[in-house]
Amino acid sequence: MCCEEPEFLAIFLGGGRGTRLGAPLPKCLLPLGGQPLLLWSIWAYARYVRTKQWKSKVVVVVPAHSGESARTSLRQALHNVQAHFPELSVCSVAGGEERMDSLWQAVQTIQSTFSESLLLAHAVVLVHDGARPFLLPNVLDRLISESVRLGGEAPWVLAPALPVRDTLRMRATPDSTNHSSSDERTWQVVPRAHFRLVQTPQVTRFAWLVQAFQQVLAGHQGGSSVAFTRRYSDETSLLQSELDARVHLLDGSFFLWKITDWEDWQWAQHLADGLKAQWFLAEAFSSTQFGNFFSSEFRTL
């Protein structure tokens, strides 16, 4: 990597319980195509780093509430990633109660583990939800290129996003307790052109992420993580609120869909387990021109 370019860090968030999925294990430990769900996006990022001939530090947030056998299996899987991709320096940390708690744990781990080997003031960090397994190189290309172009003069945060395809309706009376009402007067159409579905990975400078967390904690008595547990849902909301960072939404991908409920899981299994999906993933991860591949080859499967 060119010496003028920032160093890239990656945080993979897999500390959630996945209660909406209703599975016996934390969601990111469930086997998808023979590997824990969390491993899919990590391997995709590792392949990308290798194609770029970079090195990268990676922190993986793992579920704090899981059985010993599940934790052992995940530790072995992460060891295999490190062995197969020496370009990466991989470490893990137990997650917190909410997404922002887990992210703060990862930020502190980077500061304590990699402080001597990183120019943290200039490093760029990618934060990705482990429940989005199908991370594609063309999305990473867009995010990385834009992060280098923007530089470090003023705070910014990047995220892939998709336009809303379906009709949107909003309750006319937000305080109404009748959420299931089918009365058309209760639900008003909202112009969908004004909305985007925000995905991950979300990208910013590591120093800005630290600064945003510190500002939240400084304003809360005792510095408890409760201050940001519920207030912010992702990095874009955190940095925009705390640092007035400019949010840049870039083209996302349908394949970055987040696995949340059982229907999502069935879709992911269908994509991951089938022979066509395995071929698709191998081709996608080895090609930086995924758009051309998708338009020509994938439609013929």
Beta-ladder partners of 61: 13, 93
At residue 29, the pLDDT reads 85
At residue 180, the pLDDT reads 57
Neighbours of 113 (CB within 10 A): 15
Name the CATH superfamily, with its identifier, for domain 8-165+196-300: Spore Coat Polysaccharide Biosynthesis Protein SpsA; Chain A (3.90.550.10)
* pLDDT digits 0-9 by tens, 216-230: 888 765 555 555 556
Residues in the chain: 301
At residue 49, the pLDDT reads 95
CA count, 13 A, side-chain hemisphere, 283: 16
At residue 182, the pLDDT reads 60
Which segments in the chain show pLDDT lower than 50? 1-3, 275-277, 287-301
